[in-house]
Amino acid sequence: MATLEMQNSSFTEIVEGNNLVIIDFWAEWCGPCRAYAPVFERVSEEFPDVVFAKVDTEVEQALAGSFGIRSIPTTIAFKEGIGVFMQPGALPEDALRDLIGKLQELNMDEVRAELEERDSEEIA
């Protein structure tokens, strides 16, 4: 599956409508972003059940700002609508593949339970 261009207007639909979404925040002027783009694209071809999306931080400044993006490229992952990974810097190809494998195995019931526990502690 080719990567999608994600806009602020399509963000919620893409994240909530798919099991696993990997997002690359990038900009045209960014050298490391240009080097990471073919890696991101190659890995996307290996995982047809995962949605790979790109956000141009120059065009989608509000979306990038909502995540506090200060360094690009930054990779963010959502599983079942919940943000589960965020890391600035280009990931090596093997590391990106490994990350996707781990995210596919991630038990979201445990994640939700941890989030509920954290929320209840913050309220108390």
Catalytically active residues are 30, 33
Rounded to a whole number of angstroms, the CA Rg of the chain reads: 15
| Phi, psi torsion values for 90, nearest 5 degrees | -70, 130
Strand order in the sheet with 4-5: 4-5, 51-56, 20-26, 74-79, 82-88
Q: What angle do CA 51, 55, 59 make, to 5 degrees?
A: 150
Plot region of 20 (φ>0 → left; ψ -120 to 50 → alpha; else → beta) = beta
